[in-house]
A and B are shown apart, each in its own frame.
Chain A
């Protein structure tokens, strides 16, 4: 029996992912506890402060973890810009810091609530006895109230730990490596081994930390030195692992970013391979939100990634009129330059939004172009999570006067199959996705050119603008990836088998690029 290569790959990534996950979780937990514990002590005898504190913490708890994490990125970006302007210092709003802050906030409710409840629940006779034997307020707190409330407080800490470790998997999109990297990339590339591995690792980690804290709580309650020591040693071991310099940390070098879909994972792996082949270190930051990644590039937290001309033109720079392809690229270069970003090259293919539907259905309804769709207002359409909020959709709808019965959001990889199965009539797919051909869908023409061109372009951060070594490493890719090749690469990556990891597909892609280069000579 041989090991599934995906499992091997997952294991190889484990030290980095697990270490980062622990680092961010434990830091957040420590910070959260360090803030909420004194707050709880200060507020417990002040009914108003107490109500406000618990109220705010409860509200924070109802914000979905993903949204909370995502909110901290722009917030910190703003704070960083402000600090730069007023104090001349700047910090990275990317990755660790926003993740720690959001998770710390997330951890506060159980610690606050349990500290307050634990202290409230102490037998008033014991408080009276503590006063009676001549304890000061402080002595009462440290010698009687806290020791007695400790089991409840520890239970709160355990809840917080489990929450934080679980939620930390969602910090991947804001650039913090975590066990969520397995889950995000696995979901996008249909790598279920990765998804399961990530879930299992996060669950085991949560159980281990919870168990250690339980051991400490138990030791304290039962006055058992052995348990206390064991639990404390376990926690110390975790902390040492987290701080140990020997642990593979994000090892400098170039930071290659990727958004949250299959093609991006493959292209990031390809760029990373090329840079490493040039003898440089690389760190991958995958699964970044598409609004996060460009800001991260400008701020220098990401050095290089692949974006699409039309996306930048409409979404990042908010243009409504659509120039033709070459003019758009030229104008985009100027816009990017003004933002300090360099357009390092074009890969040669376009990954456009394309409206697609099953061939037979389109023929039956006599639909060839998007203009024809306007005549069928009863149809349903599905798009990815952002499409209907993007300016392209508004432009498309207005240009053709489109009306659909319903708009549905879907995981992009499942859209094509849904269209083929007749669950939706039309999808807003990606022109470079191999599943269009796989499911025998047709893409509809756009005679009014409402959808901009989406040439895949390599973007470099301000810091790397003049970096000749980086440009040299990536030069062989410029103009060498045509749409057919990319489609096949995407199809391979979505196959969900052992050779479908982004790394494996990227190696295949590089092979094709070299063949083509050789053929041309």
Chain B
């Protein structure tokens, strides 16, 4: 059992660069993510968000600094075993195209050595949990699903081996707004119900504001700011203010444009 006083994930002065000439993809980042927290990472394209997530799952190793999972330095852990305890939802899903929905979801417990009968039971439960139709979708292949259904399967695959930590890279980015809303609300419910620690990359500030306990802002590899939505919305840092001002300004403009259509603007 992990030490409950330790953060679920901790970055300590982590630096990573891919080429010596260019700058660092991630530069001297320190950030602790509490157990049970829902943390969003926002920031421009190329800011180092994905790199940070890959460092957490030890898909890559840092050049300097330490990454800890439940207090343990990931360098001391077996990477394969460690990844099996973490759920990852990749950008655009990355479902295995040659496996059915059931096999995609079942892959994580199967790899962890869970018995076949138990794997089947979990597949059934997760299909239900991510609100897919077991009878219709179970045997389908990824190319036979809609974008939203694919992302539901990706979430199912990440959760199937009962992880305590889930890492998500723009999980709902490519979906239409309605599907995205439904899916993200479903996910937050799962996050609470399963007592997960979630780190989600998103480029949708509104989504970050609405879902997160805390938000980390990345800029050119550095951690520009981190705080609760309220803290960041009131930030005086010009970049952060610009970033979080945008949705608020949009809402104000919408309210002016369509009076009466936006009843709940006040926060």
A residues near B (Cβ < 8 Å) are 123, 125-126, 128-136, 139, 143-144, 147-148, 223
Nearest chain B residue, comparing its CB with the CB of A137 = B80
- What is the CA–CA distance of A204 and B92 in the complex, to the nearest angstrom? 46
Q: Are A134 and B59 in contact (CB under 8 A)?
A: no
- What is the CA–CA distance of A113 and B74 in the complex, to the nearest angstrom? 38
Q: Are B59 and A132 in contact (CB under 8 A)?
A: yes
Question: Can you list 5 residue pairs at the A/B interface with Cβ under 8 Å?
Answer: A125-B90, A131-B59, A133-B83, A223-B98, A223-B141
Size category, B interface: 20 to 34
- What is the CA–CA distance of A222 and B208 in the complex, to the nearest angstrom? 40
- What is the CA–CA distance of A143 and B161 in the complex, to the nearest angstrom? 18
B150 CB within 8 Å of chain A: no
Q: Are A133 and B59 in contact (CB under 8 A)?
A: no
Shortest CB distance A142–B (Å): 12
Q: Are B80 and A128 in contact (CB under 8 A)?
A: no
With a CB–CB cut-off of 8 A, which chain A residues contact B107? 133, 143
- What is the CA–CA distance of A133 and B111 in the complex, to the nearest angstrom? 8
Contact partner of B57 (CB less than 8 A), chosen from A125, A132, A147, A148, is: A132
Shortest CB distance A135–B (Å): 6
Q: Are B97 and A134 in contact (CB under 8 A)?
A: no
Contact with A along B89-121 (1 / 0, CB 8 A): 011101111101000000110011000000000
Question: What are the 8 tightest A-B residue pairs by CB atom distance, in nearest-first order?
Answer: A134-B84, A129-B94, A134-B83, A132-B88, A147-B98, A125-B94, A134-B111, A129-B90
- SS class of chain B's interface: helix, strand, loop or mixed? loop
- What is the CA–CA distance of A128 and B59 in the complex, to the nearest angstrom? 8
With a CB–CB cut-off of 8 A, which chain A residues contact B83? 131-134
Shortest CB distance B87–A (Å): 9
With a CB–CB cut-off of 8 A, which chain B residues contact A135? 80, 111
- What is the CA–CA distance of A136 and B82 in the complex, to the nearest angstrom? 12
With a CB–CB cut-off of 8 A, which chain B residues contact A125? 90-92, 94
- What is the CA–CA distance of A147 and B97 in the complex, to the nearest angstrom? 10
B214 CB within 8 Å of chain A: no
- Number of A-B contacts defined by CB within 8 Å: 53
With a CB–CB cut-off of 8 A, which chain B residues contact A130? 96
- What is the CA–CA distance of A139 and B107 in the complex, to the nearest angstrom? 11
Known: A125-B90, A128-B59. A134 touches B98 (CB 8 A): no
B261 CB within 8 Å of chain A: no
Contact partner of A128 (CB less than 8 A), chosen from B81, B84, B90, B141, is: B90
Q: Are B92 and A134 in contact (CB under 8 A)?
A: no
- What is the CA–CA distance of A130 and B81 in the complex, to the nearest angstrom? 13
Contact partner of B97 (CB less than 8 A), chosen from A131, A133, A136, A148, is: A148
Nearest chain A residue, comparing its CB with the CB of B94 = A129
Contact partner of A136 (CB less than 8 A), chosen from B80, B95, B112, B141, is: B80
- What is the CA–CA distance of A128 and B167 in the complex, to the nearest angstrom? 14
Q: Are A134 and B94 in contact (CB under 8 A)?
A: no
Which residue among B59, B80, B94 has the maximum number of chain A CB atoms within 10 Å of its CB? B94
- What is the CA–CA distance of A135 and B92 in the complex, to the nearest angstrom? 20
Q: Are A134 and B80 in contact (CB under 8 A)?
A: yes
Shortest CB distance A450–B (Å): 72
Shortest CB distance B147–A (Å): 15
With a CB–CB cut-off of 8 A, which chain B residues contact A148? 97-98
B16 CB within 8 Å of chain A: no
B68 CB within 8 Å of chain A: no
With a CB–CB cut-off of 8 A, which chain A residues contact B81? 134
Q: Are B96 and A129 in contact (CB under 8 A)?
A: yes
B157 CB within 8 Å of chain A: yes
With a CB–CB cut-off of 8 A, which chain A residues contact B96? 126, 129-130, 143-144
Shortest CB distance A128–B (Å): 7
Shortest CB distance A134–B (Å): 3
Known: A125-B91, A132-B88, A133-B83. A139 touches B59 (CB 8 A): no
Q: Are A132 and B90 in contact (CB under 8 A)?
A: yes
**Known interface pairs A126-B94, A126-B97, A223-B141; 8 further A-B residue pairs with C-beta atoms within 8 A, sorted by A's residue number:** A123-B94, A125-B92, A128-B59, A128-B90, A129-B94, A133-B83, A134-B111, A144-B96
Q: Are B90 and A134 in contact (CB under 8 A)?
A: no
Nearest chain B residue, comparing its CB with the CB of A126 = B94
- What is the CA–CA distance of A284 and B161 in the complex, to the nearest angstrom? 67
Q: Are B108 and A134 in contact (CB under 8 A)?
A: yes
- What is the CA–CA distance of A125 and B59 in the complex, to the nearest angstrom? 12
Shortest CB distance A156–B (Å): 18
Shortest CB distance A151–B (Å): 10
- What is the CA–CA distance of A253 and B60 in the complex, to the nearest angstrom? 68
With a CB–CB cut-off of 8 A, which chain A residues contact B157? 133
Shortest CB distance A220–B (Å): 9
- What is the CA–CA distance of A135 and B80 in the complex, to the nearest angstrom? 7
With a CB–CB cut-off of 8 A, which chain A residues contact B91? 125
With a CB–CB cut-off of 8 A, which chain B residues contact A139? 111
Shortest CB distance B160–A (Å): 9
With a CB–CB cut-off of 8 A, which chain B residues contact A126? 94, 96-97
Q: Which of B27-69 contact A (CB under 8 A)?
A: 57, 59
- What is the CA–CA distance of A139 and B108 in the complex, to the nearest angstrom? 12
Nearest chain A residue, comparing its CB with the CB of B82 = A134
Shortest CB distance B109–A (Å): 10
Nearest chain B residue, comparing its CB with the CB of A144 = B96
Q: Which of B201-246 contact A (CB under 8 A)?
A: none
- What is the CA–CA distance of A134 and B57 in the complex, to the nearest angstrom? 10
- What is the CA–CA distance of A223 and B97 in the complex, to the nearest angstrom? 11
Nearest chain B residue, comparing its CB with the CB of A132 = B88
With a CB–CB cut-off of 8 A, which chain A residues contact B100? 223
Q: Which of B138-189 contact A (CB under 8 A)?
A: 141, 157, 161
Shortest CB distance B112–A (Å): 7
Q: Are A128 and B108 in contact (CB under 8 A)?
A: no
- What is the CA–CA distance of A414 and B141 in the complex, to the nearest angstrom? 63
- What is the CA–CA distance of A144 and B111 in the complex, to the nearest angstrom? 13
Q: Are A128 and B94 in contact (CB under 8 A)?
A: yes
Nearest chain A residue, comparing its CB with the CB of B83 = A134
- What is the CA–CA distance of A126 and B97 in the complex, to the nearest angstrom? 9
- What is the CA–CA distance of A350 and B83 in the complex, to the nearest angstrom? 84
Nearest chain B residue, comparing its CB with the CB of A146 = B98
Shortest CB distance A152–B (Å): 13
With a CB–CB cut-off of 8 A, which chain A residues contact B57? 132
Shortest CB distance A109–B (Å): 26
- What is the CA–CA distance of A130 and B107 in the complex, to the nearest angstrom? 10
Shortest CB distance B164–A (Å): 15
- What is the CA–CA distance of A130 and B97 in the complex, to the nearest angstrom? 12
With a CB–CB cut-off of 8 A, which chain B residues contact A129? 88, 90, 94-96
Nearest chain A residue, comparing its CB with the CB of B157 = A133
Known: A126-B94, A128-B94. A134 touches B141 (CB 8 A): no
- What is the CA–CA distance of A131 and B54 in the complex, to the nearest angstrom? 11
Shortest CB distance A222–B (Å): 9
Nearest chain A residue, comparing its CB with the CB of B112 = A134
Shortest CB distance B51–A (Å): 12
- What is the CA–CA distance of A223 and B139 in the complex, to the nearest angstrom? 11
- What is the CA–CA distance of A213 and B92 in the complex, to the nearest angstrom? 34
With a CB–CB cut-off of 8 A, which chain B residues contact A134? 80-81, 83-84, 108, 111-112, 161
